Amino acid sequence: MRTLRTNTYVAALVISLLLFGTGMLAGLFIANQLTDSLAKEITEVRTRTTEIELLFLLDADSSSCAAYGPQLELFDNQTAEIDRRVDILSSTRGATDPDVLTLKREFTIMQLRDYLFTQKINQKCNQSVDTLLYFYGNNCAECDQQGSVGPELKRDHPQLRIYAFDADLSSPAVTAIMQQYGVKSYPTIVVNGLKLEGYKSKQELEAVLAKS
Amino acid sequence: MNATALFEYGLAFLTLYVSVFFILLLLENRHVLKHNPKPSRYPTISIIIPAYNEENSIAATIESVLAAEYPNKKQVIVINDGSTDSTLAKARAFAKRGVLVLNQPNAGKGAALNHGLRHAKGELVATLDSDSFIERNSLVKLVGFFEDPTVGAVTSVMKVHEPRNTLQRLQRVEYLITVFNRRVLSFINSINVTPGPLSVFRKSVFDKVGGYDEHNILEDQEMALRIQAADYRIESSMEGVVYTKTPRTLRELVRQRVRWHRGGVRNLLKHYYLINPRYGDFGTVIMPLGILSMLAIFVVIAISALALLHRQPGLLEYGLSNFIYTFSPMHLLGVMIFLGTLAWTYVGIKSIDSETVNPLEILAYVVIYAPLITLFWLVTAFKEAKREKLRW
């Protein structure tokens, strides 16, 4: 009669459960650490913006204008990296993952503040830093194509400040700025306050930038 | 957690479980791993060599058998299965040296083996492919296992004959680890194939389970399943060696593996009744596992295809940082299983005394074979869907 090695099967089950459990726990721990570190970076950038804003408020006679530039540039680099990571996170965990949604909203708010602040500095310090707002949504065929134009433009015009907003995020702040510019379809781009609807190539956008 | 993730984690756990089971099995049997019983007597043996269009190797195959030492009667039978080349003439040249050469119209390997079996006089029967060569001590190393009266068949150490290109060097690693895996499977009497290149049988086994299935394209596996069904033990030697010719190009390799897979699926369906606790570990675990892993491969292929279709543009470009930033427990489990596979392959091949293998070759084997297996199964599914005719 043939036999069944029950003992070995049970021992293997216990050991593999232990291994699996350890692997899962360690994996979850590392994954959380990574999300935490991303959240921490966002907080850090937020603190920095608040600092610049304070500087702005304290500074009545625009003597700090020289200090804003480098600060904003630093901010720009950090947000680009965060944007990239949020992007990767959303593509693997799914756009509806609660962690991803929170990070995305925080990031959007941060961008919006930065945009408003850049405008104020433009006024106060008499400078003209170019800004580009890009509104996109899900189920938008041209958005994939349009999305790849942004990084190309940024590469050739490092001074240009680009802000991308996901209209489907249903963030009140995004809704408000969309109303301000009357954004109804995607993709829509606002270059230095001028609204452009539909897909715009890099060359078209450069032409608009040159004129404004 | 969605269905895909649930499946992935389930599969990871199952893989882990099966791996741990085999590691335990190996540890429990570590003292007999290299055990190769010395025969106290040498039963008479018949070596059956079916040949179809093997004019380039048949002479060397027969020479290797004639040169093999054996302290008792050794009958050599060559069956020419309607070759259209000079195989028959090449074989007949050995008639004066005592080789029995039979001729038949082309009827397939199974029929040729049965033809040989009808003329076999030995207490034991070895089947040898006509593109394979044995060592001087191969037979002596294999017959000791038959001292145990419950043993019905013994499998050999299959090695790649003169590996020249990269694909053959990879197959060399594959063949060696297969020998080790088969040895571990023998500890729970769960070997499911008595490979055509060289296996030895107790002649009385054929009287009990019948001859080869003449319409089967994987007759060596089908035979092993029937031997299992008759409750014999199938043993595995890590010392009796056979060198066999292997595909040189990817095209030939795919052709060979698709034949194995298509034949394998048919044999599983034919002998589904073996999935039964009555057949011990083999019926309870190994047979169901074979079916499960086959299904899993297709689900994995489907999931990967969906992921590729729905991938966000730019995802692949992130490369390593993608792996780090999107870290999930699956990554850790994946790394664990990957390293485990490397270690198992390394330890396994190292335990075959006559072979040395470069760790880099093992890495290449593990990395390259995963997509290759996917390819084999995809082509298999494609040919099944087209209902393409089965061909040996």
How do residues B46-69 score in pLDDT, each as one tens digit?
999 999 999 999 999 999 999 999
Which residues in B lie closer than 8 A to residue A15 (C-beta atoms)? 20, 24
Q: Of all residues in chain B, what percent carry a pLDDT higher than 70?
A: 95
Across the range B220-248, mean pLDDT stands at: 97
Whole-angstrom Cα distance, residue A76 to residue A72? Answer: 6
Q: Which residue of A has its CA nearest to B11?
A: A20
> Who wins on pLDDT, B136 or A199?
B136
* CB neighbour burial string for B80-95, b if at least 16 within 10 angstroms, e if fewer: bbbbeeebbebbeebe
Whole-angstrom Cα distance, residue A8 to residue A16? Answer: 12
Contacts 24+ apart (CB under 8 A), B82-89: B82/B52, B82/B106, B82/B107, B83/B51, B83/B52, B83/B53, B83/B54, B83/B55, B84/B53, B85/B53, B85/B55, B86/B55, B87/B51, B87/B52, B87/B53, B87/B54, B87/B55, B87/B58, B87/B130
Q: Which residue of A has its CA nearest to B316?
A: A88
Q: How much is the pLDDT for A97?
A: 77
Across the range B213-217, mean pLDDT stands at: 94
Residue B239's nearest CA partner among B200, B201, B189 is: B200
> Who wins on pLDDT, B250 or A63?
B250
Contacts of A110 (CB under 8 A, 6+ apart): A42, A45, A46, A49, A79
Q: Of all residues in chain A, what percent carry a pLDDT higher than 90?
A: 15
pLDDT higher than threshold 70 for residue B298 = yes
Q: How confident is the model at residue B8 (pLDDT cuts 50, 70, 90)?
A: confident
- Rg value, chain B, Cα: 22
Residue A34 to residue B327, Cβ atoms within 8 A? yes
Q: Chain A interface, mutation test: which of B17, B27, B316, B321, most A Cβ atoms within 10 Å?
A: B17
pLDDT higher than threshold 90 for residue A164 = no
Whole-angstrom Cα distance, residue A83 to residue A77? Answer: 10
Asked if B280 has any chain A CB less than 8 Å from its own CB, the reply is yes
Q: Residue A26 burial by CB count (10 A; 0-12/13-18/19+): exposed, middle or buried?
A: middle
Asked if B289 has any chain A CB less than 8 Å from its own CB, the reply is no
* CB neighbour burial string for A90-106, b if at least 16 within 10 angstroms, e if fewer: bbbbeeeeeebbebbbb
Q: Which residue of A has its CA nearest to B328?
A: A31
Select the residue of A5, A88, A148 nearest B318 (Cβ to Cβ).
Answer: A88
Select the residue of A4, A16, A148 nearest B17 (Cβ to Cβ).
Answer: A16
Please name the helix (run of DSSP H) or strand (run of DSSP E) that holds residue B132, with its range, or none. Answer: strand B132-134
Asked if B278 has any chain A CB less than 8 Å from its own CB, the reply is yes
Which residues in A lie closer than 8 A to residue B13 (C-beta atoms)? 16, 20
Q: Residue A192 burial by CB count (10 A; 0-12/13-18/19+): exposed, middle or buried?
A: middle
Cα B282 to its chain centre, rounded Å, is 16
Q: How much is the pLDDT for A102?
A: 83
Residue B325 to residue A88, Cβ atoms within 8 A? yes
Q: How much is the pLDDT for B50?
A: 98
Report residue B319 as tokens.
């490369």
The single residue listed with the structure tokens 């707002």 is A133
Q: How confident is the model at residue B139 (pLDDT cuts 50, 70, 90)?
A: very high
Q: How much is the pLDDT for B320?
A: 54
Whole-angstrom Cα distance, residue B67 to residue B219? Answer: 28
From chain B residues 78-137, the ones with a CB under 8 A of any chain A CB are none
From chain B residues 139-198, the ones with a CB under 8 A of any chain A CB are 188-189
Asked if B337 has any chain A CB less than 8 Å from its own CB, the reply is no
Span A202-212, pLDDT tens digits: 899 899 888 87
pLDDT higher than threshold 70 for residue A1 = no
Mean pLDDT, chain B, integer: 92
Q: How far is CA A90 from CA A51, A86, B328, in A?
A: 29, 6, 13
Cis peptide before B195 (omega within 30 of 0): no
Select the residue of A15, A24, A92 nearest B20 (Cβ to Cβ).
Answer: A15
Name residue B234's beta-bridge partners: B153
Whole-angstrom Cα distance, residue B315 to residue A189? Answer: 24
Across the range A67-94, mean pLDDT stands at: 74
Select the residue of A15, A93, A144 nearest B313 (Cβ to Cβ).
Answer: A144
pTM here is: 0.81
User: Which chain A residues touch B if contact means CB-CB below 8 Å?
Assistant: 2-5, 8-9, 11-13, 15-16, 19-20, 23-28, 30-31, 34, 38, 84-85, 87-93, 144, 147-148
Cα A12 to its chain centre, rounded Å, is 46
Across the range A177-193, mean pLDDT stands at: 89
Contacts of B144 (CB under 8 A, 6+ apart): B36, B37, B38, B39
Which residues in A lie closer than 8 A to residue B1 (C-beta atoms)? none
Residue A30 to residue B327, Cβ atoms within 8 A? yes
Residue A88 to residue B285, Cβ atoms within 8 A? no
Q: Which residue of A has its CA nearest to B320?
A: A88
Select the residue of A12, A31, A91 nearest B20 (Cβ to Cβ).
Answer: A12
Cα A1 to its chain centre, rounded Å, is 67
Q: How much is the pLDDT for A158?
A: 84
Residue B336 to residue A19, Cβ atoms within 8 A? yes
Q: Of all residues in chain B, what percent carry a pLDDT higher than 90?
A: 81
Select the residue of A8, A23, A87 nearest B329 (Cβ to Cβ).
Answer: A23
Please give the DSSP secondary-structure letter assigned to residue B143: H
Residue A27 to residue B331, Cβ atoms within 8 A? yes
Asked if B279 has any chain A CB less than 8 Å from its own CB, the reply is yes
Q: How far apart are the first and last CA of chain B?
A: 45
pLDDT higher than threshold 60 for residue B341 = yes
- Rg value, chain A, Cα: 23
Query: Are A111 and A79 spatial neighbours (Cβ–Cβ below 8 Å)?
Result: yes
Asked if B326 has any chain A CB less than 8 Å from its own CB, the reply is yes
Q: How much is the pLDDT for B324?
A: 65
Span B359-387, pLDDT tens digits: 999 999 999 988 899 899 999 999 999 88
Residue B112's nearest CA partner among B96, B128, B134, B123 is: B128
